[in-house]
Structure 1
Amino acid sequence: MSALDLCRLAGTVFLAVTLVVIGDTCGKLLTQSDVDPFIVAWSRFAIGALVLWPLARIQWRELAGMKDWRVILRAVFIAGGISSILTALKTEPIANVFGAFFVGPIISYVLAVVFLKERPSTTHTILLAIGFLGVLLVVKPGFGVTTGTLFALLAGTFYGCYLFMTKLLAGAMRPTRLLMSQLLFGTVLLTPLGLTSTFPPNETAVWALLVASALASTAGNYLLVIANRTADASLVAPLVYTQLISATILGVIVFGDWPDPVALLGLALIALSGLGSLAVRRKPDDRATIMRSG
Structure 2
Amino acid sequence: MLASMTLIVVGDVAAKVLSQVGISPIFVAWTRFALASVVLIPFSGLRRSDTPALRDPGVWLRAFLIMGGISCILTALRTEPVANTFGAFFIGPIVAYVLSVIVLKEKVTASRTLLLGLSFMGVLLVVKPGFGATVGMGFAVLAGVLHGSYVVATRWIAPRYRPRLLLISQLVLGAILLAPFGLAARPEAITWGIFGLIAISAMGSAIGNLFLVTLSKTTPSSIIAPLIYTQLLSATVLGYLVFSDWPDWIAFVGLAVIFASGVASLALSRSAR
TM-score strictly above 0.5? yes
State the AA in 1 paired with 2:249. Answer: P
TM-score by length of structure 1 reads 0.86
Q: 2: distance between equivalents of 1:234 and 1:211?
A: 32
Match for residue 168 of structure 1 among 132, 152, 156: 156
> Structure 2 residue aligned with 1:199, among 187, 205, 214?
187
Give the AA of the match of 2:133. Answer: V
Cα RMSD between the aligned structures? 1.9
**Aligned counterpart in structure 1 of residue 63 of structure 2, from 64, 75, 78:** 75
- In structure 2, what is the Cα distance between the partners aligned to 1:263 and 1:56? 41
1:162-199 CA-to-partner distances (Å, cap 9, x unmatched) read 12222321412222211111111111110111122142
> Runs of 5+ in structure 1 lacking a partner?
1-12, 287-294
Matches within 5 A, 1:135-150: 135-150=123-138
Correspondence for 2:262: 274
Distance in 1 of aligned mates of 2:65 and 2:220: 24
The answer to whether the Cα contact below 8 Å between 1:200 and 1:206 also exists between their aligned partners in 2 is no
Alpha-carbon separation, structure 2, partners of 1:25 and 1:85: 11
Shift of 1:207: 1.5
Q: Give the conservation status (yes or no) of the 8 Å contact 2:93–2:228.
A: no
Aligned length: 273
Matches within 5 A, 1:1-294: 13-199=1-187, 201-228=189-216, 235-283=223-271, 286=273
Secondary structure of 2:159's aligned partner: coil
What is the alpha-carbon distance in structure 1 between the residues aligned to residue 149 and residue 208 of structure 2?
Answer: 20
Counterpart secondary structure, 1:160: helix
Instruction: Using the TM superposition, give the Cα deviation of residue 231 of structure 1 relative to its aligned residue in structure 2, in angstroms.
Output: 6.2
The question of whether the paired residues in 1 share the 8 Å contact of 2:158 and 2:217 is answered with no
Distance in 2 of aligned mates of 1:25 and 1:281: 30
3-state SS of paired residue (1:84): helix
Instruction: Describe the shift of the 1:200–1:114 C-alpha distance in structure 2 as closer, same or farther (beyond 3 A).
Output: farther
Rounded to whole Å, the distance in 1 between the matches of 2:234 and 2:110 is 30
For residues 114 and 225 of structure 1, the distance between their equivalents in structure 2, rounded to whole angstroms, comes to 21
User: Measured at CA, do residues 208 and 283 of structure 1 come closer, stay the same or move farther in structure 2, by a change above 3 Å?
Assistant: same
In 1: Cα distance, 2:14 partner to 2:188 partner: 14
- Percent identity of the aligned residues? 48
Distance 1:116 1:227, change over 3 A: closer
**Alpha-carbon offset, residue 101 of structure 1:** 0.6
* Alpha-carbon offset, residue 54 of structure 1: 2.7
> What amino acid does structure 2 have at the position aligned with 1:97?
T
- SS of the residue corresponding to residue 133 of structure 2 reads coil
Note the C-alpha offset of 1:229: 5.8
| TM-score, with length taken from structure 2 | 0.93
| 1:8 matched residue in structure 2 | none
Instruction: Name which of structure 1's ranges 93-102 and 117-126 shifts more when overlaid on structure 2.
Output: 117-126
Q: CA deviation at 1:31?
A: 1.1
Match of 1:5 in 2: none
Q: Provide structure 2 residue ranges, at least 5 long, that are not aligned to the other structure.
A: none
Question: Cα 1:109–1:232, aligned 2, differ >3 Å: closer, same or farther?
Answer: closer
1:232-258, Cα deviation, whole Å (9 max, x unpaired):
665544222111000000000110001
1:16 CA displacement: 2.3
Amino acid at match of 2:152: F
Q: 1:231 to 1:113 in 2, by over 3 A?
A: closer
Determine if contact 2:90/2:144 at 8 Å carries over to the other structure: yes
